[in-house]
Amino acid sequence: MHIPLIDNPPPAGYIYSMRANVSLLIPFDLGLELDFTGKDAKEIVREVSERPTPPLSFRGKSFEGARLTASLYRFGVGLIDLSFQAEGEMDFLALLSCRTEEISVGKTPVAAWAKGLEDGLLARARKYATYDYQRRMEELDLFPVFVFEKGVVESAPAFLEKNRKALYGLVAGEPNYDALSEFVLGEEKLINLGYYENEVILIKRFGAAVSSAESKTVLEIIRLALSLHWSLRAYNFFLDRELDHAQSLLDHIPPWYKAWLMPRSYQMFSREALDFVKDKLSIVDSLYNVSRQIPRIESDWHLRTIFKNVEKEFDIDDLSKTVEVKLERIEDSYATAREFLSTNFFIAVEIILLLSFAWMVLDTTLLFIIAKK
């Protein structure tokens, strides 16, 4: 951690202490597709729990008044939002962002604490489930969002310039941010997505910093984009398993001379292909209908611009393309296997018929020769 020294004073205007409301976002895969009921039937997200938590601690510092908010997203992602207020130098906030795994809830490390909430949230999610993949990604991710309190950022350009390296460490998860070269900082520039003159909206893959009158809406957008990212990662995981399964089946296709096994194999591939088609329909529906169900974003240029840029940071488009490619590869594998089996079966049958015909000819010839004798 970089600590300002007396013989090496910080730049003029350096802010020694600032307050921020921290939202530690923890998404996880439900392995389900959901359909809400009641007043939330048309919504993309449903909040299912909101309550206080035990005090948080981080490297000897305690944070009182923390709260848990748990939400379920229609496309099969649960999101835990652990929110608390932090105060300190920018170096401390950057360290907190880079080492979120060291936060404890009461006496429990935050990752283990979040894992302990999964079963309860899964039970709630199953009430709305319309489809179950039965294969879940078990990983957890910790994504901190720092919303600075009013008065911390008086001039966005000055704030960004004076705290450039620490802010980079905060949003990029780089603990050695103070040793970064100008090349790195130039190649991976901090881009302020703020709409208004002194608005700050910074986001990269491992964190976000916000100072805005619309911070609540910006946080909602980040939550949605992070959940989409996690959903696509879960689909990738699921499809990798499907690819392995399809490859295993392909490796055990019976050879042509075991024609009696081919009908059973064809039936098995057909069943697997139909099961996969159900998965594909659910995944494709999720990929194409999520953002279109949020008219508030589509109708507001500011929010739409923020959402598109946040999506870029989470590689939403690239992940979507990867998922689509894997969907086609798996579907083609099953189709190719069925075509191969049906072709080989008929070839094997033809060979058997030809051999039978040859045997009949040979048998008839032998009988004719014997009869002449």
Q: Determine the pLDDT at residue 335.
A: 78
Angle at 291 between CA 285 and CA 295, to 5 degrees: 125
| Contact (CB, 8 A) for 209 and 148 | yes
Q: What is the pLDDT of residues 146-194, one digit of tens each?
A: 999 988 888 888 898 888 899 999 998 888 888 888 887 777 788 898 8
Going by pLDDT thresholds of 50, 70 and 90, the confidence category of residue 134 is low
- The predicted pLDDT at position 95 comes to 93
> Which residue do the tokens 């109708």 mark?
299
Q: Is the pLDDT of residue 344 over 90?
A: no
Do strands 129-132 and 104-105 pair parallel, antiparallel, or not at all (unpaired)? unpaired
The set of residues, in sequence order, having a beta carbon less than 8 Å from that of 275 and lying 6+ positions away, is none
Confidence of residue 21 (pLDDT cuts 50, 70, 90): very high
Give, in degrees to the nearest 5, the angle at Cα 365 between 362 and 369. 140
Q: Compute the distance between CA of residue 248 and CA of residue 283 in angstroms, rounded to an integer.
A: 23
Q: How confident is the model at residue 264 (pLDDT cuts 50, 70, 90)?
A: confident
Report if pTM > 0.85. no
**What are the domain boundaries of the chain?**
18-213, 220-365
Give the residue from 20, 37, 112, 30 showing the smallest Cα distance to 79: 30
Q: Tell me which H or E stretch contains 345.
A: helix 316-372
User: What mean pLDDT is reported for the chain?
Assistant: 79
- Strand bridging mode 104-105 / 56-58: antiparallel
Q: Which pLDDT belongs to residue 288? A: 65
What would the pLDDT profile of 278-300 be if each residue is shown by its tens digit? 677 667 766 665 555 565 666 77
Pick the more confident residue, 54 or 37: 54
Q: What is the mean pLDDT of residues 94-106?
A: 93
